[in-house]
Amino acid sequence: MTRSRHSLAGRSDIRRILVIKWTAMGDVVLASAIIEDLHRAFPDATIDLNTMEPWDRLFRDDPRIQRIFTVDLRGRERGWRGIRRWLREVRRGRYDLVVDLQSNDRSALLLSALLLSGGRIPYRIGHRKRLPYNIFAPAPEGPRYSLEWSRAALRAAGIPAETPLPVLHVPTQNREHAQALMIEEGLVTGQFALFMPGCQAAGHLKRWGAERYAELARLIQAEGVKAALIGGPDEREECARIRALAGDAVVDLCGRTEVLDILPLAEASRYIVSNDTGTAHLSAAADRPMVVICGPTDPRRVRPPGDKVTALQATLPCINCYGKQCSHHSCMPMVTPRAVLAVLHGRAPESADVALFGARPERPLATPHSAMDP
């Protein structure tokens, strides 16, 4: 392997850059901060993105990116068909720098195959010291958040990595749709909370639970704050249960938003409460106060970025198990709605059974001002 320290920022011979980030939604959103760092370091270079559907939609109107290409390596293009097309697309780019934010066995193998078949990319940044990367992040000490790992890899290349939050460009039609939903449901900027109570069906243990979200909705309703539920197809049943339990304390927007509608809604919200899910990372771009409830996943790895984000987790010996099945699932009930409300008010939870990770507001949350007032 070659040396792991370079100084690439601003070099005139880096004219074409490829960023690779396939999945999952939250990690693709975080990659937007790295794309911003690259755009600032190489303002005259062309940046292309290789991702997977449907996450290409996150960047469809992004002025920083010239070309987006997707190859379904795990589905309809699985096997040699997808490999050949991927190699063809990357060769076509004639890249001077590739930043592999996926850095798994498959992406490393594909890049290695490209090099062995005569493809030439002078600078290849990855997360680990392994082929095919000639620039890589130093070995982590303890759990490393995916964004921090990517930042470390950029810094090993001498590229400043200073963008604190995801940077997404929301098309006008998404902002208009978000505003229309607010008007339709009577949501006033700064007077509603955004709840994200779901996650993909396979990760159901990450869900805090309809009963607890409903109780929190009733608690904040007493303070003049309405809850708006956000979710996709896998979460409609969960949102419907919360609506049935909480009544007029909530507005159910589940299934009524596109992914890029969520950011302007988050920007207009008073605060956000979420499970460990991809939309929480997307909402972090709004820089609004947020509480994320964690159970089987490690807050040190999954807490969205930002000084206004706090993760809560029960203090149990079995936390961070990353399990798909559990006989008791006691980590979620231990994080009570009143514990979440305390953090939203700028206080620590009274219970010693709940640990905090990241930022905690020092005073009650202020009402934001936004052009999105209906």
| 179-221 pLDDT, tens digit each | 999 999 999 999 999 999 998 777 789 999 999 999 999 999 9
What is the reported pTM? 0.92
Question: How many other β-carbons are positioned within 10 Å of the β-carbon of residue 70?
Answer: 17
Considering the domain architecture, whether residues 146 and 227 belong to the same structural domain is answered as no
The domain tally of the chain equals 2
Residues 6+ apart with CB under 8 A from 88: none
Residue 227 φ then ψ, to 5°: -100, 135
Q: Which residues of the chain have pLDDT under 70?
A: 1-5, 142-144, 359-374
Q: How many angstroms from the chain centroid is the CA of residue 282?
A: 5
Question: How far is Cα 218 from Cα 230, in angstroms, rounded to an integer?
Answer: 17
Beta-bridged to residue 70, according to DSSP, are 51
Residues 6+ apart with CB under 8 A from 165: 33, 284, 285, 287, 305, 306
Helix, coil or strand: residue 192: strand
Considering the domain architecture, whether residues 269 and 244 belong to the same structural domain is answered as yes
Considering the domain architecture, whether residues 101 and 22 belong to the same structural domain is answered as yes
Considering the domain architecture, whether residues 263 and 144 belong to the same structural domain is answered as no
Considering the domain architecture, whether residues 141 and 195 belong to the same structural domain is answered as no
- Write out the residue range of the structural domain in which residue 109 sits: 16-156
Q: What is the pLDDT of residue 370?
A: 36
Task: Look up residue 113 and give its amino acid.
Answer: A
Considering the domain architecture, whether residues 35 and 134 belong to the same structural domain is answered as yes
Burial of 13 (0-12, 13-18, 19+ CB in 10 A): exposed
Rg of the chain, C-alpha, whole Å: 21
